[in-house]
Structure 1
């Protein structure tokens, strides 16, 4: 369902997200990274963030489940963006930072703990991990896309269930896209 949406609407989604100013979120994430750190953009969409991190001098890997989005992200970033899903993540302690900006929210709630464990396994000890979800407390479908929303309590519980991962900071932001009036819960996690 969600994958079909992105396949059918890749260019529209790309155009609506590629130029959004995410600098405040980049700052919150990159302040925890050493120069040249290895970063995974998991569910990269347009490639906007992967490109920004690459331009900051980080070693970036990126993936998305939608082949149409991956093609656009490859063109935008010049990176060899992979076509893969969260369920296929099998790296072991390879990344200093993982970036999941508005991507995990498409994972059904019942699958989230397993996906989070896979991503945690991909993170090096001491590594940081950014996540964001639309603010709410349930699952819903909107225009052919599935969303798992989180409030602070749900995100805290999700993170607490992952051994070796701690919440460093959690905060609420407003959507940065023009004409959008949504809130997001953001989490900065660390692997201990």
Structure 2
């Protein structure tokens, strides 16, 4: 259902998100990654963030589940973007940073623990991982898309089995898009060395 939404609405989603200023979210994430570090943009959508990281001198790998989003993101970020779902990840300790901006929220609550484990394995020891979810406690379908919302307690519970991952910081923000009024839970996660 969610994948079909992005297949059908790729151009509209691209247009509505590609120019959103995310710099205030990039700063705390990138402060933890050395110059030229390797970042995974997981569920990259429009490729906006991949492009920003490339422009700042980082090595970037990116994937998205939607073939239509992959085409647009590849063009925009000027890097190869892989078509892949979170469940298909096999990387082990490859990334200095993992960026999951508004992407994990489309994973079902049931599948999230396994997906989080795969992402944790892909992160190098000492690596940093950004996640964001719409703030709340529900699992719902809206406009043909599945959403898993999280609060601080929900995130804590999700992280509990990941013994090598610590919560470095978490904070709430308003949606960066002017026509939206949603609240987001943001978090930086760190892998133990």
TM-score by length of 1: 0.99
What is the CA distance between 1:115 and its match in structure 2? Answer: 0.1
Counterpart for residue 78 of structure 1: 78
Counterpart for residue 131 of structure 1: 131
Q: Mapping of 1:24-173 within 5 angstroms?
A: 24-173=24-173
What is the CA distance between 1:160 and its match in structure 2? Answer: 1.9
Runs of at least 5 residues in structure 1 that lack an aligned partner in the other structure: none
Q: Aligned partners of 1:127 and 1:69: how far apart in 2?
A: 27
What is the CA distance between 1:144 and its match in structure 2? Answer: 0.3
Q: Aligned partners of 2:159 and 2:167: how far apart in 1?
A: 7
Runs of at least 5 residues in structure 2 that lack an aligned partner in the other structure: none
**Which SS does the other structure have where 1:11 is aligned?**
helix
Q: Aligned partners of 2:185 and 2:143: how far apart in 1?
A: 22
TM-score by length of 2: 0.99
Cα RMSD of the aligned pairs, angstroms, is: 0.5
What is the CA distance between 1:161 and its match in structure 2? Answer: 2.0
What is the CA distance between 1:121 and its match in structure 2? Answer: 0.3
Q: Aligned partners of 2:74 and 2:48: how far apart in 1?
A: 10
**Which SS does the other structure have where 2:153 is aligned?**
helix
Deviation larger for 156-165 or 18-27:
156-165
Q: Aligned partners of 2:186 and 2:174: how far apart in 1?
A: 10
Q: Aligned partners of 1:95 and 1:45: how far apart in 2?
A: 19
Q: How many residue pairs get matched?
A: 192
What is the CA distance between 1:162 and its match in structure 2? Answer: 1.1
Regions of 4+ moved over 2 Å: none
Q: Aligned partners of 1:72 and 1:163: how far apart in 2?
A: 37
1:156-192 superposed Cα distances (whole Å, 9 cap, x missing partner): 1111221200000000000000110000000100000
Q: Aligned partners of 1:154 and 1:185: how far apart in 2?
A: 11
Q: Aligned partners of 1:163 and 1:103: how far apart in 2?
A: 23
